[in-house]
Amino acid sequence: MKPLSNPQLSKLLLALFALSVASGCAEEDQPANLVLISIDSLRADHVHTYGYDRETSPNLDAFGEGGVVFEEALSPTAWTLQGHASMLSGRTPRVCMTSEENLRVREQVPLLAELLKAKGYRTGAVHSAHFLKAEFGFDRGFDSYQFFKNKKSKWDLQDEANRKLIASVGQEPFFLFFHFMSVHTPYDPPKEHSIFERPYSGVLNREKNGEQVGSIFEGEMSIDEHDRDYLIDLYDQAIHHTDRRVGALLQELYDHIDLSRTYIMITSDHGEEFMEHSSILHTRTLYEEVLRIPMMLRGPTVPNGARVTTRASLVDVVPTLLELLSLPAPPGLNGQSLVPSWGPDATDPPPLELATYYPKMRASKWGLRTSTHKLVLDMNTGEKFLFDLEADPEELINLYPSPESEELEALLRQHSEPKYGTEMNVSAEDLEELRQLGYVE
């Protein structure tokens, strides 16, 4: 089934939302359903509804019109594994990750699927990221967990698996997780999405851009602004292509599920760099271009067409969704529910702890992000950075050291430094609280 156009989808969203309100929303004795959609490597400022001049995302734009758009959403990290660990656990990377040869989610940290499974939910997932595979711990709590490689030859197979998973849901409450990797490198969208491509005759090759971007990342190849703009064109085309895939998924959901008792959230794990700070791709920096992500939510008790300006982050996803489902949050979460953010009781969130650690590259940074400032410590070189995000949104002027950096560093040091080789102990008190909440036996 072809996805609807932007105006058609927008009208359908508004009509379905009105119908859900008129019908009294979800019945008290009938638990609400949940769908979570993650679009890998999607930076917010390349999504049209976030102010981008190119119309890269008609289906995402329409989805946002039917719910809440969080304008200041952040990832606490810079790459897929850690970003999804925070998204699905409600904890910062330092808390929810461990490391030996490879990082993985700590076994003691309950994931969203496990929490919902314990409450009687049917759970299923379809994804296309190597770092979301079962070996990293992400399959915990899922009744079905399907992986498809991020290749052109696999996209149709993944989309078909999405449709089958949706068609399989029955009367029991369900949690479905869908992940799209087709914005990620290599930027290789079908040619019909080449609507943003400008004339180009540089050193880059469309068919080999994945390898070439890797060489740029490693410092083995240099590019000029013309080359960078060509990569941005390909990236935007990949967004447009993925937006169509997401639109088809949404239409399938609208055709088969009861929207009057279903919440749907769309977000990303991190953004992407295009030489803003002499770097490309992601994983090794904590600049805004790699932290700023889209986040949108709609459902029976979510306002229509709201735009929230208070800061949100991936660690807020679990507490927010649990509150919407009228379920208690487990102890130890680093995030907080975003439900108050679209009402009169909205308050500024606490500082967000940042961390990125990529073993093979020995890239390790730790930081703190407030509404106005960002402190970043390079754990390899010992360098320290402080940016005033209001006066210097492009993060070009390092203010460290300063009174502000001393205050933020003292606050950051209240957390233990990231030590990804140790396991986290769950206290007897927390374990008992989990039992009382019904999440463990």
The DSSP code for 393 is T
| Interval 35-83: pLDDT, tens | 999 999 999 999 999 999 999 999 999 999 999 999 999 999 999 999 9
Q: Which residue has the tokens 């001049």?
A: 53
Tell me: pLDDT of 221 over 80: yes
**What's the start-to-end Cα distance of the chain, in Å?**
43
Half-sphere exposure of 104 (CA within 13 A, CB side): 15
One-letter amino acid of 55: E
CATH number of this structure's domain 6-351, picked from the four choices 3.40.50.2300, 3.30.70.1350, 3.40.720.10, 1.10.510.10: 3.40.720.10
Mean pLDDT of 147-159: 94
Q: Give the pLDDT of residue 97.
A: 79
- How far is residue 102's CA from residue 83's CA, in Å, rounded to a whole number? 15
Tell me: pLDDT of 433 over 70: no
Tokens coding 338: 């975003």
Tell me: pLDDT of 223 over 90: yes
The SS3 of residue 284 is coil
Q: Give the pLDDT of residue 30.
A: 80
Tokens coding 331: 């102890």
* Closest alpha carbon to 241 in 315, 184, 311, 285: 184
CA trace torsion 225, 230, 231, 237 (10° rounding):
150
351: Cβ–Cβ under 8 A, 6 or more apart, which residues?
368, 369, 370, 408, 411
Least confident stretch, 5-19, 136-150, 287-301:
5-19
Q: Give the pLDDT of residue 57.
A: 98
Q: Give the pLDDT of residue 415.
A: 75
Question: Which tops the pLDDT comparison, 119 or 98?
Answer: 119
Mean pLDDT of 405-424: 72
Q: Give the pLDDT of residue 99.
A: 63
Tell me: pLDDT of 101 over 90: no
- For residue 1, the tally of other CB atoms under 10 A from its CB is 8
Q: What are the beta bridge partners of residue 369?
A: 352, 374
Tell me: pLDDT of 423 over 70: no
H or E stretch including 311?
none
- What is the residue extent of each domain of the chain? 6-351
Q: Give the pLDDT of residue 430.
A: 56
